[in-house]
A and B are shown apart, each in its own frame.
Chain A
Amino acid sequence: MSPLLKDKRIRIITGYYGSGKTEFALQYSLQLAKHQQPVYLADLDIINVYFRSREKERFLNSRGIEILGNILGSDIIQDIPHVSANIYKPLHNHDDPMIIDLAGSEVGVNILALIKKYLTQDNYDMFCIINVFREETKDAEHIIDSIQALQKKSGLRITGLINNANLIHETTMEHIEQGNRILTEVEEAMNIPIRYVMIPSRLLKNITNPIKGDQLVMSQIIMREKWQ
């Protein structure tokens, strides 16, 4: 059984801004859609106007993923923070998997107030994406502060850490191992498990030391064009 099927029905994706939330949400949705369809992916990033999951709508639709978020269409032509009522569809039904891609940092979780009444301990997981090569989450102390801020602001518990240690195309196995070391400290201090590790497929052959978390293998980075 895919480890993704063990997660709760609603998966909330949070983390410091620039940690790779959208990339995780997309990679996770694509993996999950291999087992369950439709997968609802709610783009609740009302802060950023660039690099949003709804930019990839056509590609995702073809793979059984439905994007929720903006009735104005997927073009980011509107500099308007706007959320569509269609995000309630998978909250009202109790069967289909839903992935919620938030904006970064504490301000990004504000929007959860809209849907909090639908969340119970039994129906959601909240994953915190962490890239230890971002200045604001470079060590356990900073990460713990940031997780506490996210939990306080949202009133929800983070249920899993995601090791997304990376320098985009320059990522090596050593970088991922460094993420593993730092997140292990956080795991022990906060009693929150490392649930997934994001790993480029080209590095699979280089794994020599144990890395915590189920592997979310990326054959490509979805949110970047080749020339980026």
Chain B
Amino acid sequence: MTKKLMKGAEVIGASAIAAGCKHFFGYPITPQNEVPEYMSKEMPKIGGVYVQAESEVAAVNMIYGAAGTGTRVMTSSSSPGIALMQEGLSYIAGSEVPCVIVSVSRGGPGLGGILPSQSDYYQATRGGGNGDYFMPVYAPANLQEMSELMQKAFDIADQYRTPAMVLADGMLAQMMEPVEIKPYDSKNIDKSSWATTGTKGKRKPNIINSLRIKADALEEHNRHLNEKYCTIRDNEKDYEAYQTEQAEVIVTAYGSASRVVRNAIDNLRDEGLKVGMIRPITLWPFPDNAFDELPDTVKAVLSAELSCGQMIDDIRIAARGRWPVDFYGRTGGNIFSSEEIEEKVRAMLKGVISNAR
């Protein structure tokens, strides 16, 4: 396979299809319209189904229904659209059916704007749905990685019977990069014990349901879900440590923000300044283990986000008071420049550190 020049939205669609995704249900919203556009063209070619639902609420419930058959399904939306899907996501998590949700975030709150943003970190990692649930959230920083994480998300969803999210932003969905969509050897997971594929009169019906009316039954289910989340926490944390050797300041950034930070760190290291980056690849489970492996030279941590500060909460939990955690962010669709990050880090190296957001 040779590389092609692809747009982020095309990478999302092509990688999902390579991972065996058969159905797409969604509703258009900027800046991810090219995903449904791509899927509407490609799904019929693979014998799959594309449905433009009447709303995001309808789309997520179509996902719920299709996922109950054990077929690989996905949707894609952006901030306010993902907000509308929260009820369905809670039902999907409660019923333990696998699916992939692509969240291409834009500025908020409310209708917000159409430019890239990372202000949906809470929405992705805490969720707006009810109940004790989590879902794995992957945060690619480039289009090749986005392709690989899309494919992985389908496997993880099947393996743990959970919704899995790929959190991108408008920048990643709209930008173009050389990408190779690798053929993907998906894990073949037996779904016969739960998928509603028809009994043919030969077995008891499988039932997809999130309602457990008796206290003990619901508590038992919650314990079962919690055990699953603990297993995911144990096994699935992922991050990249970049230039952390001898580092005095560690910048933490994910997704498109991490691209600017990487550039800033390269420039600062060229000046001989000791700066590194932790780039979470999974946002839930948050890679707190990355912070335990930092060298003793670290004096402070910076969270750099395209938001007013959301991931900083998880960084503070992971830091466990060992270092002050400072913040730098831009919002509204503005992206911080490499120079802004460099200036902030230089100040921190001189001891100007704020431990309050």
Chain A positions near chain B (C-beta within 8 angstroms) = 18, 48-51, 76-77, 79, 131, 133-135, 138, 166-168, 170, 226-228
Contacts and interface: CB of A to CB of B under 8 A. Distances in A.
B176 A18 contact: yes
Interface of B: 3-7, 10, 30-31, 113-115, 170-171, 174-178, 259-260, 262-263, 333, 338
Nearest to B264: A227
A226 B263 contact: yes
A187 to B, nearest CB: 22
Contacts of B115: 50, 76-77
Contact of A168 (B174, B178, B333): B178
24 contacts: A18-B176, A48-B174, A49-B30, A49-B31, A50-B174, A51-B174, A76-B114, A77-B115, A133-B4, A133-B5, A133-B178, A134-B4, A134-B5, A135-B10, A167-B5, A168-B5, A168-B178, A170-B3, A170-B178, A226-B263, A227-B259, A227-B260, A227-B262, A227-B263
Nearest to B335: A225
Contacts of B5: 18, 131, 133-134, 166-168
A5 B5 CA distance: 31
The 10 closest A-B pairs by CB, nearest first: A167-B178, A50-B174, A227-B263, A133-B5, A227-B259, A227-B260, A79-B114, A170-B178, A18-B7, A134-B5
Contacts of A134: 4-6
B174 A135 contact: no
A183 to B, nearest CB: 16
Contacts of B259: 227-228
Contacts of A170: 3, 178
A51 B174 CA distance: 8
A135 B6 CA distance: 8
Contacts of A18: 5-7, 176
Contacts of A228: 175, 259
A79 B4 contact: no
Considering residues A51, A133, A226, A228, which has the most beta carbons from chain B within 10 angstroms of its beta carbon?
A228
B114 A49 contact: yes
B62 to A, nearest CB: 26
A227 B178 contact: no
A134 B31 CA distance: 21
Nearest to A138: B4
A135 B30 contact: no
A131 B178 CA distance: 12
B269 to A, nearest CB: 15
Nearest to B115: A76
Nearest to B338: A227
Given A50-B31, A79-B30, A226-B338, A168 B4 contact: no
Nearest to A228: B175
A166 B3 CA distance: 11
A51 to B, nearest CB: 6
Given A133-B178, A167-B5, 8 more contacts: A77-B333, A133-B5, A134-B6, A135-B4, A138-B4, A226-B338, A227-B338, A228-B175
Contacts of A131: 5
Contact of B3 (A79, A167, A227): A167
Nearest to A50: B174
A13 B113 CA distance: 29
A131 B4 CA distance: 10
Contacts of A51: 174-175
Contacts of B113: 77
Contacts of A49: 30-31, 114
Nearest to B173: A50
Contacts of A166: 5
Contacts of B177: 168
Contacts of B10: 135
Considering residues B113, B176, B263, which has the most beta carbons from chain A within 10 angstroms of its beta carbon?
B176
B5 to A, nearest CB: 4
Contact of B170 (A50, A77, A133, A226): A50
A131 B3 CA distance: 13
B144 to A, nearest CB: 11
Contacts of B114: 49, 76, 79
